[in-house]
Amino acid sequence: MILSRSRASRKPAPDAAGEGGQGAPPRHVAIIMDGNGRWAKARRLPRLAGHRAGAEAVRRTLRAAAKLGIECVTLYAFSSENWKRPEQEIADLTGLMKQFLRSELDEIHAANIRLKIIGDHHAFEPEAARMVDAAVEKTAENTGSTLVVALNYGAQDELARAMRTLGERIRAGTLEPAGVTPALIAAELDTANLPPLDLLIRTSGEQRLSNFLLWQVAYAELYFTETLWPDFDEAALAQAVASFGKRERRYGGL
């Protein structure tokens, strides 16, 4: 099973503001899963082999997250810029997504996990989009942890959509410009109603956000590792969480 149903072993979680004492585990961890192609190239394998190995890393990481008591995991699976890749690679990634849903959805549901999608997954071919919709609907009432998958997601587009929504409310006269607050903006984002982002991990040694959760990362801790995503495992996640636990989060205070 990907994630355990039991939550009894969870350590005390930070409060609703995403804060918590030093050493407290993160409630919400996001991961930029980078390095599948380099992993495959180093082994003289096709890129698809790297993506398949990356899917196995997802399974390992979700199991590890459950053991560590992480409430919400967000995975950057396909960015809005990834459409620039070759058509065959996009087809391969779409096929892996469908295969993952076929093989793992029942266990995700049995573990009481809610699946949430951020971005616009309806840009994928119809069968894949329908499978994602069905998976979200099937798990919608689950009350355990949350698995968020970013599909055709770009943070700048997310912010632009939020601004358009608020702009329409201003034009309609239901909102004054002075009433636009950070909380109001956050409520219009794809991540509304999720715990605040505590920790963002990027694998493969790259140190940039790549248009991922630009608003949400404002006070998140950043963790970069040289480990390629297919090699990421329970020990790697535990190391990232341990690093998080040693940091003092002051949110601009002393």
Q: Which positions make up the binding site for Mg(2+)? A: 34, 221
To the nearest 10°, the Cα dihedral for 84, 85, 88, 93? Answer: -100
**Is residue 45 in a domain?**
yes
**Is residue 21 in a domain?**
no
Q: Which positions make up the binding site for substrate? A: 35-39, 47, 51, 79-81, 83, 85, 202, 208-210
**Is residue 44 in a domain?**
yes
**Is residue 163 in a domain?**
yes
Q: CATH no. for residue 120?
A: 3.40.1180.10
Digits of tens for pLDDT over the chain (254 positions)? Answer: 454 433 333 333 334 344 445 667 899 999 999 999 999 999 999 999 999 999 999 999 999 999 999 999 999 999 999 999 999 999 999 999 999 999 999 999 999 999 999 999 999 999 999 999 999 999 999 999 999 999 999 999 999 999 999 999 999 999 999 999 999 999 999 999 999 999 999 999 999 999 999 999 999 999 999 999 999 999 999 999 999 999 888 777 76
Task: Give the CA angle between residues 70, 75, 79 to the nearest 5°.
Answer: 160
Q: What is the pLDDT of residue 22?
A: 61
Structural domain containing residue 222: 28-246
CB-CB neighbours of 243 under 10 Å: 14
**Is residue 11 in a domain?**
no
State how many domains the chain has: 1
**Is residue 19 in a domain?**
no
**Is residue 15 in a domain?**
no
Predicted structure pTM score = 0.89
**Is residue 1 in a domain?**
no
Give the span between the Cα atoms of 81 and 156, in whole angstroms: 11
Which residues are known catalytic residues?
34, 82
